Structure 1
């Protein structure tokens, strides 16, 4: 979807990476390596997005680190577009809200990094009927044209494994209000 609105693939990748998970950041060479792009093309897009105020930059040693400007008036809209492009909005609506006792849902792997690889890793915490979940996931995979790998954890299992998830990129997509 974004690719039809924004013709620069590099700009789309930057928006997906930095706006899907606004806590993520990156510097020029790291982003160029991750995207398989030249540093020049990434630099041009970083500069354009920073000049528009959509990205913030800060020096870290000899490098400049970029991240999404959460204070920009268009931040919520751009983040919403990215989530819709990746199908996360439908994931939450179709799966999490219909399962009952879900306390936390998050995405790990490529999607959490803002990379649309066609494989989404979803972790759900709570009491969940796995057969019902599988049916919902199957329908969503067809609709979004992606593969969803899922893992269901009880509250206790999640507490034990939490450090493992915190050490990798993860994006919380739903959390039960306490």
Structure 2
């Protein structure tokens, strides 16, 4: 069912973010851990953030992404 709802990159990113929802990740860390391309991960992070599933927090010059605890997932 997940294949019908989410792209492979989204599944990998969501698995990392919601699997460790108590911490945030920076984009290059997610790119490395998912084994997906940089553009694909960046695009999915933008989509997930705009849908409210993921939050973005700027720390210094880096954006940190974290699962939104208020999301329905």
TM-score normalised to structure 2 length: 0.87
The alpha carbon displacement at 1:24 in A equals 2.7
Whole-angstrom CA distance in 1 between matches of 2:9 and 2:24: 15
Give SS of 1:66's match.
strand
Computing the radius of gyration from Cα coordinates, the structure with the larger value is: 1
Q: Deviations over 1:83-138 (max 9, x none)?
A: xxxxxxxxxxxxxxxxxxxxxxxxxxxxxxxxxxxxxxxxxxxxxxxxxxxxxxxx
1:1-178 alignment, distance < 5 Å? 1-2=1-2, 4-72=3-71, 74=72, 78=73
User: Once superposed, which parts of structure 1, at least 4 consecutive aligned residues long, lie more than 6 Å away?
Assistant: none
In 2, are the aligned partners of 1:17 and 1:24 still within 8 Å (CA)?
Answer: no
Q: Say which structure is richer in strand.
A: 1
**Where do 5+ consecutive residues of structure 2 fail to align?**
none
CA distance in structure 2 between the partners assigned to 1:22 and 1:7 by the alignment: 19
Q: Distance in 1 between matches of 2:22 and 2:6?
A: 25
**Does the residue aligned with 1:23 lie in a helix, a strand or coil?**
coil
Q: CA RMSD in A?
A: 1.4
User: Could you say if the C-alpha distance between residues 7 and 71 of structure 1 is closer, same or farther in structure 2, counting changes exceeding 3 Å?
Assistant: closer
Deviations 1:133-165 (A, max 9, x none): xxxxxxxxxxxxxxxxxxxxxxxxxxxxxxxxx
